[in-house]
Amino acid sequence: MNRRWELLESGRVSDIINSKARFEELVEFHWRYYSELAFQRKQIREGLNGALRESAAAFEFARWQRVVKYKYSLDPLSAGGSLADPGGRFNVGAIDPTRYPMFSSLYLAVDKGTALAEVLGRDTSISSLTPEELALTKPDSISALSVSGKLEAVLDVRSSSNLQRFVALIRNFRVSKALRSEAQSLGVSVKVITSVQELQKMLGLPNWRDWPMLYDVPAAGQVFGAIAVEAGIEAILYESVLTKKPCLAAFPQNFLNSSSFVELDDPAPSEGVPRRVDSTNFKQFA
């Protein structure tokens, strides 16, 4: 019997060692990159917080949707699932708790299609299907719930005017000459946000998970979310990357001393299922 052999892949042990060394260099570089900007943010911390607070406004929504994995069905308003590594678009999960404090977020969407797409429809490789159709191809067990609420301090990042003062404060940040030189040697780029459009683009990156998953540092949206939480913002209103429709990243931990709430529209399957999160019970939903 004739056998045909084909070489699928080849390499040397030294290639593996070199690849690992380069990866470690990239991780260390991104940590230094993050640290340089974090130090500059700390210097103007109060100004950044004030810039977001002054742009926040009340927001009321009815019959929006929340989709959760089946294991969270008996606690659908819990934001605990958002703490899993790497977190969500606007919250930091278990990336590296010793360096980056974790905080949770309750994610909601304007309709069921968008909620499904945000939770399940991240694979956009099948161009013939919409994000909603892609989500429906996933076999995951889920629960979809209708929710309504009223929030006192929501930051709408779709509006350029809401971000102008914030960007005015960070546009003068600088990256050290040493870090720029290191970036050049590694073949990567460093950038400081200098316009509202650049900030909005960073907050809406489809591949935001690359930073926490590959380099163990928070993505731009997660850093922005941390500033928003510290500023007392109760939710960030943003556009779904997949459907271009409104979504909310709510922060129940900021409901203290507020009349804000989020609640289920329909009766719960049992009395033990919490139907509302507000200032009286927000701690149990983090």
- Closest of 95, 53, 37, 60 to residue 228, by C-alpha: 53
Q: Is residue 72 part of a domain?
A: yes
d(CA 229, CA 102): 11
pLDDT value of residue 272: 86
d(CA 108, CA 89): 12
> Which of the 8 DSSP states describes residue 156?
E
Global pTM exceeds 0.75: yes
| Count: domains in the chain | 1
Q: Is residue 192 part of a domain?
A: no
User: H helices within the chain, ranges in order?
Assistant: 13-43, 45-53, 112-120, 131-137, 164-170, 177-186, 196-203, 210-215, 220-230
Q: Is residue 213 part of a domain?
A: yes
Q: Is residue 50 part of a domain?
A: yes
Q: Is residue 1 part of a domain?
A: no
The four Cα atoms 126, 219, 197, 122 give a dihedral, to 10 degrees, of 10
Token pair for 211: 């930073």
d(CA 167, CA 164): 5
Q: Is residue 38 part of a domain?
A: no
Instruction: Identify the helix (H) or strand (E) that includes residue 149.
Output: strand 142-156
Dihedral sign, Cα of residue 235, residue 54, residue 158, residue 218: negative
Q: Is residue 9 part of a domain?
A: no
Q: Is residue 260 part of a domain?
A: yes
- Give me the domain span that covers residue 254: 45-164+197-285
Angle between helices 220-230 and 45-53 (to 10 degrees): 80
pLDDT value of residue 13: 46
Q: Report the chain (286 residues): mean pLDDT per 10 consecutive residues.
A: 53 54 89 96 97 98 94 90 94 95 97 90 58 60 93 98 98 95 92 96 94 95 98 98 96 96 93 93 88
